[in-house]
């Protein structure tokens, strides 16, 4: 989101604030507080990621082909991606671009979290666990696809 778009959204929010109900204002305040807290978590996680990578580089142990190093670094990166997507969904609510958290966004975040779980999975994982993760990924993928198809049909129908 560009600074111009952000400025415009904030000005729009200021104009809408006067006509909001008490509960709508409450939702806005909660969304802003959550956004700030998640931003702090993201910054702390990013600092930790830098620390881990720096220590691995200094100790000459940074070998991305080593499964444990790969799991550690990419698990942390995926955690950051999950937090950023979550924050992005809250920002859309806070800037009144969406009225509530969209189910499609929650399913997408769950898919990212599941992908993280697969990335950090031990090579000797129980086959039942792998099958359960695959089933969950399939269910979430189909759900996301159905939601996207519904939204595409709505957008296509509205364009007519």
pLDDT, tens only, 67-109: 788 788 888 999 999 999 888 888 877 776 665 557 888 898 9
For residues 122-139, give the mean pLDDT.
Answer: 92
Question: What DSSP letter does each residue of 122-156 carry, written as one string?
Answer: -TT--HHHHHHHHHHHHHHHHHHHHHHHHHHHHHH
The pLDDT of residue 39 is 93
C-alpha closest to that of 138 among 121, 114, 157: 114
Find out whether 35 and 91 touch, Cβ atoms under 8 Å: yes
For residues 136-153, give the mean pLDDT.
Answer: 91
User: Is 4 or 159 the better-scoring residue by pLDDT?
Assistant: 4
User: Is 153 or 139 the better-scoring residue by pLDDT?
Assistant: 139
Say which residue the tokens 């190093």 belong to: 69
Is residue 8's pLDDT more than 80? no
What's the burial of 41, exposed, middle or buried (CB within 10 Å: 0-12/13-18/19+)?
middle
The pLDDT of residue 120 is 86
Q: Could you give the number of structural domains in the chain? A: 1
pLDDT in tens, 11-48: 777 777 778 788 888 888 888 899 899 999 999 999 99
Enclosing domain of residue 23: 3-159
The pLDDT of residue 42 is 94
The pLDDT of residue 53 is 85
For residues 116-125, give the mean pLDDT.
Answer: 86
- The C-alpha atoms of residue 95 and residue 83 are separated, in whole angstroms, by 18
Looking at 33-47, 50-64, 100-114, 128-142, which range is the least confident one?
50-64
Is residue 1's pLDDT more than 60? no
Say which residue the tokens 């198809």 belong to: 149
């Amino acid at each position: 989101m560009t600074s111009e778009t952000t400025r415009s959204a904030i000005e729009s929010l200021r104009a809408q604030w006067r006509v909001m109900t008490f509960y709508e204002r409450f939702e806005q305040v909660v969304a802003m507080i959550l956004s700030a807290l998640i931003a702090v978590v993201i910054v702390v996680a990013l600092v930790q990621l830098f620390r881990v990578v720096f220590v691995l580089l200094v100790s000459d142990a940074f070998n991305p082909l080593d499964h444990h190093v790969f799991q550690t670094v990419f698990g942390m990166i995926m955690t950051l991606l999950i937090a950023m997507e979550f924050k992005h969904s809250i920002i859309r609510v806070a800037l009144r671009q969406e009225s509530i958290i969209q189910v499609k966004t929650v399913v997408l975040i769950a898919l990212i979290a599941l992908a993280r779980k697969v990335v950090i999975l031990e090579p000797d994982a129980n086959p039942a666990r792998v099958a359960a993760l695959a089933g969950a990924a399939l269910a979430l993928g189909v759900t996301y696809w159905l939601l996207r198809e519904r939204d595409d049909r709505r957008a296509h129908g509205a364009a007519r």
